[in-house]
Amino acid sequence: MKRLQMFGLLNKDMDHIEKELYRSVQGDDDLLSETSLHLLRAGGKRLRPVFVLMGGKFGNYDLEKLKRIAVPLELIHSASLVHDDVIDDADLRRGEPTVKSKWGDKIAMYTGDYIYAKALIMTSELKNPRIHQILSKAMVEMSIGEMEQIRDFFNSEQSIRHYLRRIRRKTALLIAISCQLGALAADANPEDARLLYNYGYNVGMAFQIRDDLLDLSGTEKQIGKPPGSDMRQGNITLPVIYSLEDDRLRDRLLEELDLIRGGRMEVGRAIDLILSGDGIIRAEELASRYISKALTALDGLPNNKTKRNLRDIAFFVTGRAY
């Protein structure tokens, strides 16, 4: 996945963020630099930094200040991915070998610990306790979300509420605070910061639902890893839950899930079952409802170019699933 390249204005600043990202994990230890850079160089949309900078546009935009939020947020996200890949036994991420597959679980674990700690150092330079507080709370929620995910592996009885709570913790919260902290660091109006949080939260929910959809309906080239990876790991996502609610599919799908749980790598039949029902379309509908809510949050913000860009991003990052 390539970096978001929609906004001429931010591109120069995002280049700077990219350099700072690489710089932030160098100079301490050769192996840690190598593993961290391998992870960061594999790319990603840099969604969280983009949102931080956009949030900053609602106040006194100062790149030197904002980078101390933007870089740590991308680092925290990246650290969570290295640990995720250990849990999921994932060999590929964004089309590249994972740290876990290249260096093993143990080194992946400490690479994550290191990147988390580097993120914290950088935010502590801001000397703003409220930012630290919001960030560490989000980190706690993320780790709870990860634990819920492990516990819910292959839990075919989980409710939609369950799923939504998990993706809220795993994804939406960090995107929400990216928008919010950008605004706070730029001393924006607190009400604007609150609306930006709501925008980010709803975009984040839609984004994760879309990501989970793509894992079932996308091609390996589109998603950078084999389709059905979530299911193979036992991660029961929204389209699967909807499909299990469908009496015509439930029993056959449960049977397939049992076989996968038993170690069968083939997930094609389970995917075909899901595609034959309305699980995908219902998940798309729910994602759309979140996008709607994100746009409603934008309504309260002052009309400016950034607000229009945020609207575009909302469609862009969630649109590819439809």
Task: Note the residues at the interface with its own copies (CB under 8 A).
Answer: 28-29, 31-32, 83, 86-87, 105-107, 109-110, 112-114, 116-118, 120-121, 124-129, 132-133, 135-137, 139-140, 142-144, 146-148, 150-151
In the complex, the smallest distance separating the C-beta of residue 150 from its own copies, rounded to whole angstroms, is 6
**Separation of alpha carbons 38 and 274, rounded Å:** 35
Comparing CB distances to its own copies, the nearer of 101 and 276 is 101
Comparing CB distances to its own copies, the nearer of 35 and 318 is 35
**Separation of alpha carbons 146 and 106, rounded Å:** 18
Comparing CB distances to its own copies, the nearer of 139 and 160 is 139
CA geometry: angle at 54 spanning 181 and 290, to 5°?
Answer: 85
Comparing CB distances to its own copies, the nearer of 139 and 286 is 139
**Separation of alpha carbons 131 and 181, rounded Å:** 7
In the complex, the smallest distance separating the C-beta of residue 135 from its own copies, rounded to whole angstroms, is 8
SS3 97: strand
Q: 226: which residues sit within 8 A by CB, 6+ positions away?
A: 92, 220, 232
In the complex, the smallest distance separating the C-beta of residue 132 from its own copies, rounded to whole angstroms, is 4
Residue 239 CA from chain centroid, whole number: 18
The DSSP 8-state label assigned to residue 248 in this structure reads T
In the complex, the smallest distance separating the C-beta of residue 196 from its own copies, rounded to whole angstroms, is 21
In the complex, the smallest distance separating the C-beta of residue 265 from its own copies, rounded to whole angstroms, is 20
Comparing CB distances to its own copies, the nearer of 106 and 305 is 106
**Separation of alpha carbons 82 and 34, rounded Å:** 14
In the complex, the smallest distance separating the C-beta of residue 224 from its own copies, rounded to whole angstroms, is 23
Tell me the C-alpha to C-alpha distance, in Å, between residue 5 and each of 11, 46, 123, 221.
Answer: 7, 10, 26, 20
